[in-house]
Amino acid sequence: MIRTHYSTQITPDMKESVTICGWAHEIRDLGGITFLVVRDREGLVQVTLFKKTIDKNLLEIVRNLSRESVVAITGTIKKEAKAPNGYEVVPTEVKVLGKADSPLPMDTTGKVDADLDTRLDVRFMDVRRPYTQAIFRIRHLILKSIREYLDNDGFLEITTPKVVATATEGGTALFPITYFEREAFLNQSPQLFKQLMMSGGLDRVFEIGPIFRAEEHDTRKHLNEATSIDIEASFLNNEDVMVILENLVKYIYMKVQEKGATYLKTLGVELKIPEIPFKRITYSEAIEIARKNGEKIEWGDDLSTESEHTIGKTIGEHYFIVDWPSKIKPFYALPYEDKPELCRAFDMMHPRMELSSGAQRVHSYEMLRDRIEAQGLNPDGFEFYLKAFKYGMPPHSGWGVGAERLLMTMLGIENIREVVLFPRDRKRLSP
């Protein structure tokens, strides 16, 4: 049996026969009438079997169905105001395509709560829930709108290696792997490779792809495998790419509001479109706000989670923190000529957490080599990267945004694992 329509493509006035395919969401046998609610990707369909007029074989099939079995149903449309979408299907044929065992590992109707670990253990069941499916439909809209916006702004999509020989930013947060006879690592970021494309003359590039961080965090906002949205652009400074970022964020929110109203309703979310331009505060101003609210933090320290929360409550909307101390930002962040203790780096913040970091990059070979050494790293380990700066590297800037954090803050979700199909964290490696 071939599906002719999804649930939302059927109208109450349709005269032709239709075939729907999906899962047996609910079965209610009231004696004289039996209701089968079928769930497909787009919604619910009520299938109604009247005992006096329906074929007895069809009635027997439906009455013996186990919940979550996969079915294909052909029938005619009848107006019914109380049914989902204002219609019901009166079946002429019912086929069971995949029988479900009983009992189910979790409830899919939303009537019985399950904790997050249970849901992640049987994610294939959890995604059947309209609530969970709505999250990933919105994630799809976000990624689609990012590609639309950046493509229209002249960016080319690239793909960079995820198995590398050198740490992107130094440090120890690396997953080592065996690569034939050598040691290699899972990449922390596409940073070095997207900068190489500036030397290559691609001018504006972006990538949406996985990144890996071997950090032992076990919080509601950290993952060890995440999706990063990255851009790099030649002949633009730090402020230029900040404008691209804030315009992109607004565009994403507008597209989700426009295309995802059904899913937002399912999640109970009323989306507020961020106003641009986002407020800019300096690192020094951020430190002062944190101190005034009782945080113990020194100039030159990175911001703690508590400090981020304190500053976010004060600002109350998306904002940028700019002019960071050079010593706490990566070696490729460009220091100010007149204030080398500060660099042209920025973080884009949601009131709840950091969403993005970026900077204008060092494009001088000599300065870049000095910056690598100043941060206690060996320039010889970055030979493939440094080579590109010897032969004509334009000024360039860029940023990276965590897709999961963008989604969870947009939807007001508390745990980042909710917005990843199969999260990888300190404890979870399966499924």
Same domain, yes or no, for 84 and 135?
no
Q: Can you give the pLDDT at residue 169?
A: 63
Structural domains of the chain, count: 2
| CATH code, domain with 257 | 3.30.930.10
Average pLDDT over residues 286-308: 95
pLDDT above 70 (res 365): yes
Task: Let me know whether 382 and 262 are in one domain.
Answer: yes
71 and 13 share one domain: yes
Residue 165 above 90 pLDDT? Answer: no
Report yes or no: 203 and 167 within 8 Å, Cβ to Cβ. Answer: no
13 and 82 in a single domain? The answer is: yes
Let me know whether 77 and 138 are in one domain.
no
In-domain check, residue 302: no
Residue 301 lies in a domain: no
Q: Residue 324 falls within a domain, yes or no?
A: yes
Same-domain status, 321 and 398: yes
- Enter the DSSP assignment of 429: -
Give domain status of residue 223, yes or no. Answer: yes
Name the residue range of residue 65's domain.
7-98
State residue 217's pLDDT score. 84
Q: Is the distance from CB of 356 to CB of 363 less than 8 angstroms?
A: no
Q: What is the model's pTM? A: 0.94
In a domain, 120, yes or no: no
| pLDDT exceeds cutoff 80 at 174 | yes
Within 8 A by CB and 6+ apart from 119, the residues are 106, 125, 126, 132
Angle at 173 between CA 170 and CA 176, to 5 degrees: 95
What is d(CA 171, CA 169) in angstroms, rounded to the nearest whole number? Answer: 7
Whether 183 and 231 share a structural domain: yes
Residues 140 and 75 placed together within one structural domain of the fold: no
* pLDDT for residue 11 is more than 80: yes
168, pLDDT greater than 80: no
CATH of the domain at 33: 2.40.50.140
Q: How far is CA 270 from CA 257, 262, 273, 384, 404, in A?
A: 9, 11, 10, 48, 19
Q: Which of 88, 93, 119 is nearest to 105 (CA)?
A: 119
pLDDT in tens, 236-246: 999 999 999 99
Q: Classify each residue of 369-391 as buried b or exposed e, where b means 16 or more C-beta atoms within 10 Å of its C-beta.
A: bebbeebebeeeebeebbebbee
Question: What percent of the chain has pLDDT above 70?
Answer: 98
Domain identity same for 181 and 251: yes
* Confidence band, pLDDT 50/70/90 cuts, at residue 171: low
pLDDT confidence bin for 266, thresholds 50/70/90: very high
Q: Which residues contact 72 (CB under 8 A, 6 or more apart)?
A: 1, 3, 19, 20, 21, 94, 95, 97
Say if 178 falls within a structural domain.
Answer: yes
